Amino acid sequence: MQHLILGGIRSGKSRYTQQLAEQSNKPVTLIATATAGDDEMLERIRRHQQDRPANWQVIEEPLALGHVLDKNDDPEALILIDCLTLWLTNLLLDSDPQRLEQEQNQLLACLPSLQAELLLVSNEVGQGIIPVDPLSRRFADETGRLHQRLAEVCDRVTMVTAGLPQILKG
């Protein structure tokens, strides 16, 4: 099963996803996409590290999600990706302008054959105002397009608001 979990910043989506992973009683592999570019982000990463179970396998991968999913696929396991919007940011800032499309296509191509249970966490950013600068507008557009493509192929889609999960699909 593939489950896309969306929500705003501090909506409770990571906590909800962690609960789902713990309830699965499967070995969990967390693919963390964040990079610590400043002190505030480093503190966010530390909080997430402290909040998650110590027995989870953690893979830090800011770019090549499809490759890491293929490499770590296991029908007896659960893979949790947190989060796709940080991953998109990393790709938008990558020096290779083609990498964003390549990595998105690779991620989407690997999903149909993936045997592990998959939880994908992402920020829903399309409910606010249109950003003022071109990079922010592109980020919002790319995020919205990715969410639509993932929602098509995922078995379940959940929106978390104020800590409350709302099933959108499945």
Read off the DSSP letter of residue 97: T
Residue among 3, 48, 67, 147 flagged as catalytic: 48
Torsion sign, CA atoms 46, 41, 160, 99 = negative
Domain ranges of the chain: 2-169
Instruction: Compute the average pLDDT of residues 11-18.
Output: 94
Q: Which CATH superfamily is domain 2-169 in?
A: P-loop containing nucleotide triphosphate hydrolases (3.40.50.300)
> Does the active-site annotation cover 67?
no
Residue 130, pLDDT > 90, answer no
Instruction: Compute the average pLDDT of residues 154-167.
Output: 98
Task: Please tell me the least confidently modeled range out of 22-36, 48-62, 77-91, 155-169.
Answer: 48-62
Classify each residue of 29-61 as buried b or exposed e, where b means 16 or more C-beta atoms within 10 Å of its C-beta. bbbbbbbeeeeeeeeeeeebeeebeeeeeebeb
pLDDT of residue 74: 97
pLDDT of residue 114: 97
Instruction: Compute the average pLDDT of residues 65-78.
Output: 97
Residue 36, pLDDT > 90, answer no
pLDDT of residue 51: 81
